[in-house]
Amino acid sequence: MKKILVSACLMGQNYKYNGGNNFSSKLDLYIKEHDYEVIPVCPEVLGGLPTPRVPAEIVNGIVTNKNGISVHTEFCQGAKKALEIAESHQISCAILQSRSPSCGVHEIYDGSFSGKKIPGKGILAQLLETNGFKILDVEDL
């Protein structure tokens, strides 16, 4: 059985910044159709951030929350832990939450906290890709 890394919020775990989740029935069906073993991760929680937490975006290359406080260290530590999990489980790919400052695959928010999106990758998505893992945006399924 192939193992895949999945953003935990997509599996219904309440790890979103606002305490909710992004459960994806499309992803759930995709997993069942392909008989994948799911390894759920939330790099932000792995990095020590609470749920709920202040929203964060990447501002000039640094993950900063809406109050102007850098949470870059926590995001990077969580991404590193998620990478270690991916490596130890020998995942075949990662399916990640769209637009997240951790997991965004194609685009992220621009750092203005206005909802504007720009091309780019989240911290975990970039780290996984750099280390040779296939990454997919959940919206591409």
pLDDT on residue 29: 97
Nearest-CA neighbor of 48 among 21, 14, 78, 80? 78
**pLDDT tier for residue 109 given thresholds of 50, 70 and 90:** very high
Mean predicted confidence (pLDDT) in 11-21: 98
Q: Which residues of 22-34 are buried (b: 16+ CB within 10 A; e: fewer)?
A: bebeebeebbeee
User: Three-class SS string for 76-102?
Assistant: HHHHHHHHHHHHHHCCCEEEECCECCC
Q: State the Cα angle at 89 between 61 and 103, rounded to 5°.
A: 25
Please list, in sequence order, all residues whose beta carbon lies within 8 angstroms of the beta carbon of residue 101, skipping any fewer than 6 positions away.
Answer: 56, 57, 58, 63, 75, 108, 109, 122, 123
pLDDT on residue 16: 97
Q: Is the peptide bond before 50 cis (omega within 30 degrees of 0)?
A: no
| Per-residue pLDDT tens over the stretch 127-137 | 999 999 999 99
| Per-residue pLDDT tens over the stretch 66-83 | 999 999 999 999 999 999
pLDDT on residue 83: 99
Q: In whole numbers, what is the pLDDT of the chain averaged over residues? A: 98
Mean predicted confidence (pLDDT) in 21-34: 97
